[in-house]
Chain A
Amino acid sequence: MPKKAPKTLRKKVCKLCLDRVEMVDYKDEKRLLRAITDRGKIVPARISGNCARHQAQITRAVKRARVLALIPFVSESYR
């Protein structure tokens, strides 16, 4: 079997590291909305390219923001 040509990979960088974010804030609605899919799921680090530290912060912040109804658990259109 012929070997598949390897996909050209581009290294992803953590956007939060680029922005030098110290701590992700659960009140930062704008940032969190970018960190979830249109369904409301948290975008995995595999896709977003976030580093482990920031991904953990995002996860925590999203969960807190959901409790306060700042961002949805599930987006309206998919309910």
Chain B
Amino acid sequence: MKEYETVFVMHPQVDDAGIEKQIEELRGVVTGGGGEVTGVYKWGRRKLAYTIGKVHDGFYTLVRFRSEADVLRELDRRYKLNEMVLRHLTVASVGEPTAPDHRGRDRRMDRGRSQFGGRFGERGRPEAEAGPPEGVSESAPEAPAVPVAPVAPAETESEPKVEGEA
């Protein structure tokens, strides 16, 4: 028994039920072959790096499973029977099963937060969460006013910025 993962790309016109059906079919093949599915990860709709028969995007799904090697052949055969599967790949598991750009986006957001914590904090969100020291030192008297924005306007002109953003 070895752990494998299989990724398939479905045609964008396929609905959720169609994707579910495909997942269940895979599950059936895997369990029928004496294996077990260990995880299903829907990456959702993604843009394709190149067009595939006039189609520009597709629904990506990754399924991890443990099974004997002969299951892979059956999987491949089933994939080929479904015309809505644009692309498929089955390999021994590597790395994280999550969608590539999700990981990328998370990392980028984390970096953004650490580098520009204060700025993003107060511009991006009107909440009180803009607590980081940078933001406070920049506009010390205004910072506490943010959470009580509806009441604050009495303070007049000195903080038109805050009002606009809140």
Contacts and interface: CB of A to CB of B under 8 A. Distances in A.
Contact of A69 (B48, B91, B98, B101): B48
Contacts of A74: 50
A42 interface: no
Interface in B47-98: 48-50, 52, 58, 60, 62, 86-87, 89, 91, 94-98
Interface residues of B, number: 23
Interface in A1-57: 23, 25-30
Contact of A68 (B87, B94, B96, B98): B87
A71 B47 CA distance: 10
Contacts of B50: 69, 72-74, 76
Nearest to A27: B100
Contact of A30 (B7, B62, B91, B100): B100
Contacts, number: 52
Contact of B100 (A29, A67, A72, A73): A29
Report, nearest first, the 8 A-B pairs whose CB atoms are least far apart: A25-B95, A29-B100, A69-B48, A72-B49, A69-B49, A27-B100, A30-B104, A25-B94
A68 B101 contact: no
Contacts of B99: 27
Interface in B111-127: none
B104 A67 contact: no
Interface of B: 7, 9, 48-50, 52, 58, 60, 62, 86-87, 89, 91, 94-101, 103-104
A59 to B, nearest CB: 14
Given A29-B101, A29-B104, A69 B87 contact: yes
Contacts of B94: 23, 25-27
Of A23, A69, A74, A76, most B-chain CB atoms within 10 Å: A69
Nearest to B58: A69
B89 A27 contact: no
B77 to A, nearest CB: 17
Nearest to B7: A68
B130 to A, nearest CB: 29
Given A27-B96, A28-B95, A30-B100, 11 more contacts: A25-B96, A27-B7, A29-B101, A30-B103, A67-B87, A68-B87, A68-B89, A69-B58, A69-B87, A70-B100, A73-B50
Contacts of B86: 69
